[in-house]
């Protein structure tokens, strides 16, 4: 086993719910069957490189606070190599099968685009070897089109055509790298694709350009034989005031308008959902009924704050509804459950990486078991079916079949204008959920 960076951390054992060891699983057992799949197959956990490996613990008011063994290496490429080795040590010790990265998370930018690509190629070679020797997999790759000042006005939606071209070159390379590493998906999160003020913005052109950009990506992927799933990740605000891919419904409208539905699904993040004023379940449900549930950025936002805090998810109650939707959708594959989450700044010790992931993995494992029981018992589903049963018979069936219009319905209503409704029984249903938790 790799033991270079965290010699004191063992491979995380399963010790069961009675254990008080923060470095042991209470619920997650990779090979435990839940229904017809193992926990590992259902959950498809993934580490987010930018938070767990590249993140420093800085915030707008303070510099990095994280203690990380690779930070003492001053040469940027040597540090990048060490970080990648550390990543695979973490994946192995945590039994996390997947990871995700932005191009710039894994290798530093050079003076020129050529040099940057060279840096990237070196780390990608090393990553490919580590993938081969460990059996770990790339859930998705993406390009960082928001950090460098050239992207101050956006990337594919920049007012500057040279920026559009540069972003295209960067995404071309990122798709190649994702393909080379066997990535199962490729993600487009909007970054700075949005606007700060409409006073300087041609929204129509920007959206048309974004669609042009995504079509070019699809064309290029086809050209090089990349078969992974493309994903859009909605977020309503931050860093821009209005992000174009604001929520699942806005993405659906965009994908339909620009004829991209055949090529894209959606990567849904809890914190982005709540910033959009939705629950996570709402967003996943919306994606599910529209056939675009792709993957999950599984984190948790602070309900009292209006920005993306990206916390490790530990709220079992909410996670139950997430897994309930996932089970109803028949699973996430080729997507997964990516911990797009960072430790709180005061949790700066290296052990916290493991403690935080164990906490989140247990949360989803527990939620998976609850959701599976709930769904198998069928209490909620039966209640819903009963609630809508008027559409399975009589006039309701005729509405659904499309055999009546306003004229027929008026005739019907004239004869049946004494209507009785039944209670929605919300409190009863919430109490049912609690029985399973």
Q: How many whole angstroms from its chain centre is CA 315?
A: 17
Element (H, E) at 89: helix 76-94
Active site residue 102: yes
Which of ligand XLS, Ni ion, none is residue 352 near (CB under 5 to 8 Å by kind)? none
Query: From CA 432, how far away is CA 437, in angstroms rounded?
Result: 9
Query: Please, which residue, 186 or 189, has the CB nearer to ligand XLS?
Result: 189
Phi, psi of 278 (to 5 degrees): -115, 165
**Interaction pattern, residues 166-205, with ligand XLS; x per rule: CB under 6 A:** ---------------------x-x----------------
46 binds ligand XLS (CB under 6 A): no
Which of ligand XLS, Ni ion, none is residue 26 near (CB under 5 to 8 Å by kind)? none
Neighbours of 122 (CB within 10 A): 14
Among 308, 325, 362, 369, binds ligand XLS (CB under 6 A): 308
Among 193, 247, 283, 340, binds Ni ion (CB under 5 A): 340
Q: How many whole angstroms from its chain centre is CA 288?
A: 14
Neighbours of 363 (CB within 10 A): 25
269 binds ligand XLS (CB under 6 A): yes
297 binds ligand XLS (CB under 6 A): yes
Q: How, if at all, do strands 229-233 and 194-195 pair?
A: unpaired
Instruction: For the CB of residue 189, give the shortest distance to ligand XLS in the complex, in Å.
Output: 3
Supply 420's token pair: 């009785």
Cis peptide before 334 (omega within 30 of 0): yes
Neighbours of 415 (CB within 10 A): 6
Instruction: For the CB of residue 353, give the shortest distance to ligand XLS in the complex, in Å.
Output: 17
Give the active site residue among 105, 245, 297, 340: 105
Total binding residues toward ligand XLS, as defined by CB under 6 A: 10
Instruction: For the CB of residue 391, give the shortest distance to ligand XLS in the complex, in Å.
Output: 39
Q: Under a CB-based contact definition with an 8 Å cutoff, are residues 52 and 90 in contact?
A: yes
Query: Please, which residue, 313 or 327, has the CB nearer to ligand XLS?
Result: 313
Neighbours of 287 (CB within 10 A): 25
Contacts with ligand XLS by CB under 6 A lie at: 102, 142, 187, 189, 233, 235, 269, 297, 308, 340
Contacts with Ni ion by CB under 5 A lie at: 269, 297, 308, 340
Catalytic residues: 102, 105
């Amino acid at each position: 086993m790799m033991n270079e960076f965290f010699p004191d951390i063992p491979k995380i054992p399963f010790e069961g719910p009675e254990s008080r060891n923060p470095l042991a699983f209470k619920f997650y057992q990779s090979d435990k069957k839940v229904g017809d799949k193992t926990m590992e197959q259902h959950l498809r956990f993934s580490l987010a490189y930018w938070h767990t490996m590249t993140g420093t613990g800085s915030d707008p008011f303070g510099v990095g606070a994280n203690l990380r063994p690779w930070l003492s290496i001053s040469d940027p490429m040597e540090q990048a190599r060490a970080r990648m080795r550390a990543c695979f040590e973490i994946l192995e010790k945590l039994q996390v099968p997947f990871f995700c990265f932005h191009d710039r998370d894994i290798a530093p930018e050079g003076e020129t685009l050529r040099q940057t690509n060279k840096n990237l190629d070196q780390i990608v070679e090393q990553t490919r070897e580590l993938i081969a020797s460990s059996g770990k997999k790339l859930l998705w790759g993406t390009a960082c089109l928001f950090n460098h000042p050239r992207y101050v006005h956006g990337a594919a939606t920049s007012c500057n055509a040279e920026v559009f071209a540069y972003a295209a070159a960067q995404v071309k390379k990122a798709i190649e790298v994702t393909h080379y590493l066997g990535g199962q998906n490729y993600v487009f999160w909007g970054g700075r694709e949005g606007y700060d003020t409409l006073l300087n913005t041609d929204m129509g052109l920007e959206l048309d350009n974004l669609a042009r950009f995504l079509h070019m990506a699809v064309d290029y992927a086809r050209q090089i034989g990349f078969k992974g799933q493309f994903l859009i990740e909605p977020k309503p605000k931050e860093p821009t005031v209005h992000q174009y891919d604001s929520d699942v419904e806005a993405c659906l409208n965009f994908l339909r308008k620009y004829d991209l539905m055949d090529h894209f699904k959606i990567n849904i993040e809890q914190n982005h959902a709540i910033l959009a004023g939705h629950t996570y379940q709402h967003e996943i449900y919306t994606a599910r009924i529209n056939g675009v549930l792709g993957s999950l950025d599984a984190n948790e936002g602070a309900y009292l704050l209006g920005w993306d805090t990206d916390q490790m998810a530990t709220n079992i109650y909410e996670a139950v509804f997430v897994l309930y939707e996932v089970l109803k959708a028949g699973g996430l594959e080729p997507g997964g459950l990516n911990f797009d989450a960072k430790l709180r700044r005061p949790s700066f010790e290296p052990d916290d990486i493991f403690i935080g992931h164990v906490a989140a993995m247990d949360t989803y494992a527990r939620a998976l078991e609850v959701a599976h029981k709930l769904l198998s018992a069928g209490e909620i589903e039966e209640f819903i079916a009963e609630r809508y049963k008027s559409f399975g018979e009589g006039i309701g069936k005729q509405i659904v079949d499309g055999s009546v219009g306003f004229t027929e319905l008026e005739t019907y209503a004239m004869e049946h204008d004494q209507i009785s409704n039944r209670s929605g029984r919300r409190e009863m249903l919430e109490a049912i959920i609690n029985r399973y938790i």
